[in-house]
Each structure stands twice: as structure tokens, then as C-alpha cells.
């Protein structure tokens, strides 16, 4: 498979909008993989992300192996820990939690992962990860022992994202957190995108086509949806209809 990052860049240069379905191994039943991935394939999804804040050992490896049996979409790891890295996937988002100041998630976990990654043929994509408050405590906060950035201080969010780019990150990922009550505002997304020359990923709290379109129109180039599918798989029907109407 060609470079995942290059494909993302090429798609963006053509004006294409990308959608990733996020699957959390800890919340997903392996027995439902076939039926779930069939719906993913029929939708407008372009990528499958796999990962979660807390996942049992080997669960990611098993799930990715099963997913690959049913799709040709690129599978990208969105890991909460080194234990979630598997060479069965196509690429890895090498996440640095820029919104927090816990050194373990800024560089510590990355150093820990190197010996494992050196034995794998896995595309590694450096990604600045920015968690923004959503009105409830998220699993990311608990695991990383960090606080999200306040929504009201947009300039600080913008500056943090820009700093990530200047540090050499290839992607910036704005996240409201798993199960967020509300998605990120169009103002936050657009202000951040105005300052970036690298692809912008947005996730958290998106549960409708309208909210999806708002994120795209504000400047998101890749949107990630997870909880919406966990709670209501009929959302896939909306995405399929949206694909057919294009």
C-alpha cells in the first residue's frame, strides 16, 4: 500500500474530504466485525482508525487482523499506549499530547515505543494531539493525568497547534474527547486551520451529517467519528445516502 500520509496529502490537494471510523478494541465485539465493516465499506469512510485509552494486551492486534479480512481501507493506529501497536496495521499516528504537560505523553511513551517500532514495517506519522474541553471528563484525561484546553481561549489553542507544526508534526488532531457532548465549534476549527500548512484532523462529539459538514466546512480535512457509530449504527445509513447523493 502507498504511503498513508502521502495519500492524505494527495486527497486534500484534490479538494477531497476524508472520514475515519474510529473503532475502540475495548468497546467493540470482535464477533460483529464482518457486519460492521460491511457498513463502513458502503459509507463515505476513507480510513479506519483503531485505538482507545485503555485496551487489553493483544486486543488491538486481534481486531486489526480481523478487520483486514473485510476491507481494503487503510487501517491506522490511534493508540493510547505502546501495547496497542501492531504491525498488522498500515500506519501509526505517533501522538504527542500537546495540550498537556505530562512528559510521558509528550516524549516518554514515544521513546518506549522505539524498540518495538524498529522491528516493524509500519508507517509512523508524527501527530500533534490537542484535547479540548467538552463539558465532561474524558478517558484521555484520566489516563494521561492532564487537563484539556479551555474552549474559550481560542488563541492558545491556535498557538499550540502552530507550535506542533513548527516542531515538525505532520498532522494536527483536535479532539473533543470520546463521548463528547458537543463537537468542536466552527470558530475553533477555522481559526486553527488558518494558521496551519499541514492536514487538520478533527474528532469528538460528531453525531450527525450536519455536524460532519460543519467540521469540513470550517476547515477539517479528516474527520473522525467513533461514539456515534457505537451508539447508533443507523448513522451508517445516513452516510451511505450522503455518498449516493454526491
In tens, the pLDDT along 90-128 reads 999 999 999 999 999 999 999 999 999 999 999 999 999
Distance CA 67, CA 6 (A): 23
Please say if the pLDDT value at position 217 is more than 70. yes
CA distances from 100 to 48, 52, 104, 176 (A): 26, 18, 10, 14
Please say if the pLDDT value at position 151 is more than 60. yes
What average pLDDT does this structure show over 33-44? 93
Q: Residue 152's pLDDT is what?
A: 95
Q: Residue 189's pLDDT is what?
A: 98
Q: Residue 243's pLDDT is what?
A: 60
SS3 of residue 19 by DSSP: strand
Q: What percent of the chain has pLDDT over 90?
A: 79
Please say if the pLDDT value at position 246 is more than 60. no
pLDDT category at 25 given cuts 50, 70, 90 is very high
CA distances from 235 to 4, 134, 175, 178 (A): 26, 22, 20, 17
Please say if the pLDDT value at position 61 is more than 80. yes
Residues 6+ apart with CB under 8 A from 38: 70
Domains of the chain: 4-8+17-241 (3.20.20.390)
Q: Residue 165's pLDDT is what?
A: 98
In tens, the pLDDT along 173-212 reads 999 976 677 899 999 999 999 999 999 999 998 988 999 9
* Residue 6: its H or E element: helix 4-13
What is the residue-averaged pLDDT of the chain?
93
Please say if the pLDDT value at position 19 is more than 70. yes
Q: Residue 109's pLDDT is what?
A: 97
Q: Residue 226's pLDDT is what?
A: 87
Report yes or no: 153 and 67 within 8 Å, Cβ to Cβ: no
Distance CA 147, CA 144 (A): 9
C-alpha cell at 233: 449504527
Q: Residue 218's pLDDT is what?
A: 98
Q: Residue 245's pLDDT is what?
A: 59
Distance CA 141, CA 143 (A): 6
Range with the poorest average pLDDT among 26-35, 118-127, 220-229: 220-229
Distance CA 191, CA 203 (A): 16
Amino acid at each position: 500500500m502507498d504511503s498513508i500520509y502521502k495519500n492524505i496529502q494527495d486527497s486534500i490537494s484534490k479538494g477531497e474530504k476524508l472520514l475515519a471510523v474510529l473503532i475502540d478494541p475495548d468497546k467493540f465485539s470482535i464477533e460483529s466485525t464482518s457486519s460492521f465493516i460491511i457498513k463502513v465499506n458502503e459509507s463515505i469512510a476513507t480510513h479506519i482508525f483503531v485505538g482507545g485509552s485503555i485496551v487489553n494486551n493483544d486486543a488491538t492486534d486481534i481486531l486489526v487482523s480481523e478487520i483486514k479480512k473485510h476491507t481494503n481501507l487503510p487501517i491506522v493506529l490511534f493508540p493510547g499506549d505502546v501495547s496497542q501497536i501492531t504491525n498488522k496495521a498500515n500506519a501509526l499516528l505517533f501522538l504527542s499530547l500537546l495540550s498537556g504537560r505530562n512528559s510521558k505523553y509528550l516524549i516518554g511513551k514515544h521513546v518506549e515505543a522505539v524498540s518495538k517500532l524498529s522491528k516493524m514495517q509500519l508507517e509512523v506519522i508524527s501527530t500533534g494531539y490537542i484535547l479540548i474541553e467538552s463539558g465532561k471528563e474524558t478517558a484521555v484525561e484520566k489516563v494521561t493525568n492532564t487537563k484539556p484546553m479551555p474552549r474559550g481561549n481560542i488563541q492558545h489553542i491556535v498557538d499550540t497547534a502552530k507550535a506542533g507544526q513548527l516542531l515538525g508534526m505532520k498532522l494536527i488532531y483536535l479532539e473533543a474527547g470520546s463521548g463528547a457532548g458537543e463537537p468542536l465549534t466552527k470558530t475553533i476549527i477555522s481559526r486553527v486551520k488558518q494558521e496551519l500548512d499541514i492536514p487538520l484532523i478533527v474528532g469528538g462529539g460528531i453525531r450527525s451529517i450536519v455536524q460532519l459538514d460543519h467540521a469540513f466546512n470550517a476547515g477539517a480535512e479528516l474527520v473522525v467519528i467513533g461514539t456515534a457509530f457505537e451508539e447508533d449504527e443507523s448513522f451508517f445509513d445516513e452516510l451511505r445516502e450522503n455518498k449516493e447523493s454526491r
